[in-house]
Amino acid sequence: MRLAKVIGKVTLARQHQGMGAASLRVVQPLSADHLAGRSEPGGDFFVAFDQLGSGLGQIVAISEGREASQPFYPEVKPIDAYVSALIDEVTLHESSLPPATPADSGSSARESH
């Protein structure tokens, strides 16, 4: 499971009948450095199946791969990334983080949404 930020939504003209009324969200994975306020989000974004109603800018927990379809067993859904939780707050302890590099800015250890 990874934490990610919702950065967009996908609008479909048609969808697989098993997807029901759920939405597809564009999410970007978050690193510990980003959560600690030491860097901006980076890396590739991807699409995740969302039945929980996440909003733009929200931090979510993402299950990927085979585990993403487990909540629907025995039904078969054509998904490989699933929004499994809506995150209210993430608290990181500075002593648990690797040292900041000189390019890192900021030292906040908490991000709330």
Distance of CA 98 to the CA centre of its chain: 22
CATH class of 2-112: mainly beta
Q: What is the mean pLDDT of residues 78-92?
A: 88
Alpha-carbon torsion angle 96, 101, 107, 109, nearest 10: -30
Give domain limits for the chain.
Answer: 2-112
- Provide the pLDDT for residue 52: 92
Contacts 24+ apart (CB under 8 A), 67-73: 72/18
d(CA 94, CA 71): 34
Non-local CB neighbours of 103 within 8 Å, separated by 6+ positions:
none
For residue 19, the Cα-to-chain-centroid distance in whole angstroms is 19
The per-residue pLDDT for range 6-37, each reduced to its tens digit, is 999 998 777 777 666 678 999 999 988 778 77
What pLDDT is attached to residue 102? 56
pLDDT of residue 112: 45
Specify the pLDDT at position 69: 73
In the prediction, which pLDDT does 100 show? 65
Q: Which pTM value belongs to this model? A: 0.74
Q: Quote the pLDDT of residue 12.
A: 79
Residue range 40-81, pLDDT digits in tens? 777 789 999 998 999 999 999 999 887 777 777 777 777 789
Q: Which of 66, 67, 68, 59 is nearest to 89 (CA)?
A: 59
What H or E segment, with its residue span, contains residue 32? helix 32-35
